[in-house]
């Protein structure tokens, strides 16, 4: 249903929030330090951030402003101080909402739900692209595009199908016959099993930093290939 990052140094509160979110079907991660929280928020995709104001390392206002520079994800700020609430309301930190401590966890969950659905309808289909992400490799299934370290690589349709098939079945060893049958199948006239080898080589040239020691598509000698997670 969605993934929430809770940045909160009072662990009992954080765990309470997490438990309520779990019950409502959300996944939730907890960070108790401001700087670590910001790092996690920037390097992962979440659907909502719940952000306490008073935090060790870096306060919630600064985290909020820094996140807002790069992410449109809804931010719900949490504070016990009236002054903070006025600040959140009045100033342009970019928070979408706030709750005052002490608050009822179910009220918080209701707000998380509301923000997730509003955000989803706002970003619409753009956000709903199905993406496979493994280390620096990003395969956009919906748009049929491949990115390596954020740089787009051009794939022919067969190269794309082959890479996608391997990536969707990670750690599974496929023989060349398996792959040939799966990807070329009915259209195999005029090509043979060596086509698989050629395509693997071309894919590696695009996605591997060193084709001789591939980090994504591994050769299992005498058997075939495996996509490494």
Contact between residue 33 and residue 60 where contact means Cβ atoms under 8 Å apart:
no
Contact between residue 146 and residue 163 where contact means Cβ atoms under 8 Å apart:
yes
**How far is 95 from 76, CA to CA, in rounded Å?**
6
| Smallest gap from residue 52 Cβ to Ca ion (A) | 4
Pick from 8, 12, 18: nearest CA to 40? 8
**How far is 159 from 154, CA to CA, in rounded Å?**
9
Binding flag, residue 99, Ca ion (CB under 5 A): no
Binding flag, residue 52, Ca ion (CB under 5 A): yes
| Smallest gap from residue 54 Cβ to Ca ion (A) | 4
Which DSSP string do the residues of 65-78 spell out, in sequence order?
HHHHHH----EEEE
For Ca ion, the closer of residues 17 and 52 by Cβ is 52
| Smallest gap from residue 10 Cβ to Ca ion (A) | 6
Binding flag, residue 47, Ca ion (CB under 5 A): no
Binding residue (CB under 5 A) for Ca ion from 3, 36, 54, 113:
54
- Which residues are bridge partners to 175 per DSSP? 224
Contact between residue 163 and residue 170 where contact means Cβ atoms under 8 Å apart:
no
Q: Which stretch binds Ca ion (CB under 5 A): 27-35, 48-56, 77-85, 217-225?
A: 48-56
Q: Which stretch binds Ca ion (CB under 5 A): 30-38, 45-53, 56-64, 81-89?
A: 45-53
Q: Which stretch binds Ca ion (CB under 5 A): 3-11, 135-143, 165-173, 189-197?
A: 3-11
Binding flag, residue 65, Ca ion (CB under 5 A): no
Binding flag, residue 9, Ca ion (CB under 5 A): yes
In the bound state, the residue with its beta carbon closest to Ca ion is 54
Q: Which two tokens stand for residue 35?
A: 């700087």
- Give Cα 209 to chain centroid, integer Å: 22
Residue ranges binding Ca ion (CB under 5 A): 9, 52, 54
């Amino acid at each position: 249903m969605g993934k929430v990052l809770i940045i909160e140094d009072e662990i009992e509160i954080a765990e309470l929030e997490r438990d309520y979110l779990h019950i409502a079907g959300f996944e939730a991660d907890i960070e108790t330090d401001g700087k670590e929280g910001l790092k996690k928020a920037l390097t992962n995709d979440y659907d909502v951030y719940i952000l306490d104001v008073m935090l060790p390392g870096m306060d919630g206002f600064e985290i909020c402003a820094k996140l807002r520079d790069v992410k449109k994800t809804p931010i719900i700020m949490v504070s016990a101080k009236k002054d903070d609430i006025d600040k959140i309301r009045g100033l342009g930190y970019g928070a979408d909402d706030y709750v005052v401590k002490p608050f009822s966890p179910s009220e918080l969950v209701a707000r998380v739900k509301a923000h997730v659905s509003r955000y989803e309808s706002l970003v619409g289909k753009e956000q709903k692209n199905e993406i496979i992400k493994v280390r620096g490799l990003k395969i956009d299934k919906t748009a049929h595009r491949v990115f390596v370290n954020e740089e787009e690589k051009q794939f022919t349709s067969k190269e794309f199908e082959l890479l996608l098939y391997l990536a969707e079945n990670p750690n599974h060893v496929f023989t060349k016959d398996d792959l040939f049958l799966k990807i070329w199948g009915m259209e195999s006239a005029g090509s043979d099993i060596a086509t698989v080898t050629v395509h693997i080589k071309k894919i590696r040239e695009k996605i591997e930093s060193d084709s001789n020691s591939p980090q994504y598509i591994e050769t299992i000698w005498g058997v075939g290939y495996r996509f490494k997670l």
